């Protein structure tokens, strides 16, 4: 966490941006949660301890956190922008339960290799990818999507 804070400060300095109390609070809150958090969720978390920090500041700081390479966007198909930790977290893909909403992080080097190959075959230079598998987790076997 110390390393992340340092990277954040460096990212700010590099762009002539200021290190503020609010920005540090937002970063800390983001680093503390291991979920795939939305801006709104993070704002509500922070509000408990720091009700003086506004939504816009959380929103803007999340952009800065992304720019510093500490977070990446994930999309679970629920129309909400979510962020997950990037620093110290290797690339992975997701299994997402249609019933309970839980997700699992997975990684398969064979799939990754085939993805490279697939792109190259089309003379396409891959930069990044997103692979999300939707279905039912062990606990939700047999349930339909409606059981929340």
Partner DNA sequence: GTATAATTGAAAATGATTTTCAATTTCATA
Partner DNA sequence: TATGAAATTGAAAATCATTTTCAATTATAC
> Are the beta carbons of 53 and 44 closer than 8 angstroms?
no
146 sits near its own copies (criterion: CB under 8 A)? no
Q: Supply the minimum distance, in Å, between the C-beta of residue 52 and DNA.
A: 5
Q: Which of 10, 52, 78, 108 binds its own copies (CB under 8 A)?
A: 108
State which H helix or E strand residue 72 sits in: strand 71-74
145 sits near DNA (criterion: CB under 7 A)? no
Q: Which of 22, 23, 8 is nearest to 87 (CA)?
A: 8
Q: Supply the minimum distance, in Å, between the C-beta of residue 19 and DNA.
A: 4
For CA atoms 109, 115, 121, 125, the dihedral sign is: negative
Q: Which of 135, 146, 147, 148 binds its own copies (CB under 8 A)?
A: 135
Distance CA 128, CA 132 (A): 13
122 sits near its own copies (criterion: CB under 8 A)? yes
Kindly report the backbone phi and psi dihedral angles of residue 10, in degrees, each rounded to the nearest multiple of 5, phi listed first. Answer: -60, -45
134 sits near its own copies (criterion: CB under 8 A)? yes
**Structure tokens that stand for 136 in this block:** 């039912």
Site for DNA in 14-53 (CB under 7 A): 16-23, 38-40, 52-53
**CB environment 50-63: b (16+ within 10 A), e (fewer):** eeebeeebbeebbe
Site for its own copies in 16-75 (CB under 8 A): 75
Based on CB atoms, which residue is closest to DNA, 13 or 32?
13
x/- contact string, 74-103, with DNA (CB under 7 A)?
A: -----xxx----------------------
């Amino acid at each position: 966490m110390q390393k992340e804070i340092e990277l954040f400060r460096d990212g700010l300095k590099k762009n002539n941006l200021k290190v503020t109390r609010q920005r540090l609070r937002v970063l800390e809150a983001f680093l503390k949660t291991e979920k795939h958090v939305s801006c709104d969720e993070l704002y509500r978390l922070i509000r408990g301890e720091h009700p003086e920090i506004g939504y816009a500041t959380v929103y803007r700081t999340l952009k800065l956190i992304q720019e510093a390479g500490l977070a990446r966007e994930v999309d679970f198909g629920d129309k909400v922008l979510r962020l997950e930790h990037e620093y110290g977290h290797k690339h992975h893909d997701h299994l997402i339960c249609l019933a309970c909403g839980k997700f699992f992080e997975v990684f398969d080097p064979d799939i990754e290799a085939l993805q490279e190959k697939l792109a190259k075959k089309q003379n396409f230079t891959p930069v990044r990818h997103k692979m999300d598998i939707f279905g039912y987790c062990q606990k939700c076997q047999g349930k339909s999507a409606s059981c929340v």
